[in-house]
Amino acid sequence: MSPLTLAATAFTALASLLGGLLVACSAAEALELLDLLRRGRRRAPAAAPAAAERPFVSLHVPICAEPPEVVARTLLALDRLDYDAYEVVVVDNNTPDEALWRPIEALCRRLGRRFRFYHVPRLAGFKAGALNFALRHTSRDAAIVGVVDCDYEIAPRYLADLVGHFGDAQVGFVQTPQNYRDWHADRLARPCYWEYWQFFAVSMMLRERRNAILMHGTMGLVRRDALVRAGGWAEWCLTEDSELGLRILAAGYRGVYEARTYGRGLIPYTYRAYKRQRRRWVIGGVQQIRRHAGLFLPRRAGPRRLTRMQKLHYLQGWLPWFRDGVIIAAMPVTLGAGAAALVGWESPLTALPLSIGLACVVLHVATRQLVICRKHLALSWRDTLGAALAVSSLTWTVGTAWLAGWIDLAHVFHRTPKHPQSEPRRMAAARGELVLGALALLLGVGITAKLGAAGLAAGVALFGYAALLLPAAVMAHVAAARATLEKNRGRQAAGARQGASGGAATTARHAARTGHSAVA
């Protein structure tokens, strides 16, 4: 066999392997949709049992270079809780600018002895390091530890309604939805919101029935003994919240998902921040797989083990990220096969397995949005399309993050900014997706135009890449257009204020000259 023939055979085998993986991922992901259709809407959440006594709760609020006005709203909401046995431990870490943390220190002092503030100039371990610091400074009376993100405004009944769950000694943590405010009229936030909400409206609902819910540190309550026995928060992981939940479930505890919303935070202000947040989540998931792979082995013995359904739901949750990793890994193969077919070096049939795989992915993404957004959430067609664009726009981000997570590097914890930022230049936040998506589209059009129906074997794969990558350019355009609109509104408002100020000054000068008093 000649080297050229051997290379062509290897290329075909690789395309078949990657295409087969994409088909398998789509089939496995479809199981969640079938489960949703079979079970229907979530039953009405059962109220937490009344607590025989009110256990003491320690609420931890980690902050790092956050806007004081945002944190202040969070702390003032915590001060209004309809509960008497709690404390709030605020840990500011790695914030060199005193103008950011001094106002929070002063506010905690004004709010009274229930609030304690700590400023740590240098603290390792990302958010987990701050939470472990707070745990070391938690009151000895605390039986429950709560984590509250610094931008979340908590409802007054949050603790009063939920602590009763801990009357069951098997409950290790209680989770509520991660919800948001100020998104309804925002061009970028609205599609992002419905992309987020699908997890809480569907996946968490199905997980709750099998004791496999995901713990996330936005608004969660955890039994202090379970937290300490698990070894605290993992400072090596970018997603310390879900990693802790995995260990607590493996220790034999039960997680409770209360579907009612008890607090709302802020959606990332820019498309770049939205993508960075998702990249951190994906890399954190890979870190968990690498560290805890043994938990997913069959028939594992020992004190830490997962049930079959818990394993299934966690693996199913990571499956879309793996699928996107395969999509990114297959991109050079697809583009190479398309270019070779266009110039006549290779048969278009070489890319047929990838065309089938990518067609299955695109079909699954479209079907999932129709079932969840239209049937389950009863959204409008506009919101359904927006959610589909948001989901597809993350393909490149998730896929590259999945591959990067397997490289043993020191990954950076990118915190999500809690204040408006300037969006990068138009299309800058999606430059890679725009270039590669446009290249795939042009190759697909060229092959189809030159070879006709025979070129569809490669053209479908290329059109699939265009469908999965170019939505990022749409989202970046929407974000940039919104930023421009807000900037123009800000300039108009500033001009109006300046004009009003100038008019008032003119009136004052006229009154001084004539002796008449100015009327406000």
List pLDDT tens digits, range 172-225.
999 999 999 999 989 999 999 999 999 998 999 999 999 999 998 788 999 999
The C-alpha atoms of residue 271 and residue 434 are separated, in whole angstroms, by 14
> Pseudo-torsion of CA 434, 440, 446, 449, nearest 10°?
-110
The C-alpha atoms of residue 136 and residue 358 are separated, in whole angstroms, by 50
Amino acid at the residue 356: I
- Among 2-11, 81-90, 308-317, 388-397, the minimum mean pLDDT is found in 2-11
Beta carbons of 72 and 98 less than 8 angstroms apart: no
Q: How sure is the predictor about 485, in pLDDT bands with cuts at 50, 70 and 90?
A: low
Q: How sure is the predictor about 351, in pLDDT bands with cuts at 50, 70 and 90?
A: confident
Cα dist from 154 to 39, 88, 228, 427, whole Å: 31, 13, 25, 36
What pLDDT, on a 0 to 100 scale, did the predictor assign at position 511?
37
For the ranges 5-9, 311-315, 346-350, the maximum mean pLDDT occurs at 311-315
The total of other beta-carbon atoms located within 10 Å of residue 334's CB is 27
Query: 219-223 and 142-148: which strand pairing?
Result: antiparallel
Name the residue with tokens 């800000």.
490
The total of other beta-carbon atoms located within 10 Å of residue 367's CB is 13
Tokens of 204: 């968490």
Residues of the chain with CATH 3.90.550.10: 56-267
The C-alpha angle 225, 123, 263, rounded to 5 degrees, equals: 55
The C-alpha atoms of residue 334 and residue 350 are separated, in whole angstroms, by 9
What pLDDT, on a 0 to 100 scale, did the predictor assign at position 47?
66
Superfamily designation of domain 56-267? Spore Coat Polysaccharide Biosynthesis Protein SpsA; Chain A (3.90.550.10)
Name the residue with tokens 């699954």.
364
> Pseudo-torsion of CA 124, 128, 131, 136, nearest 10°?
-60
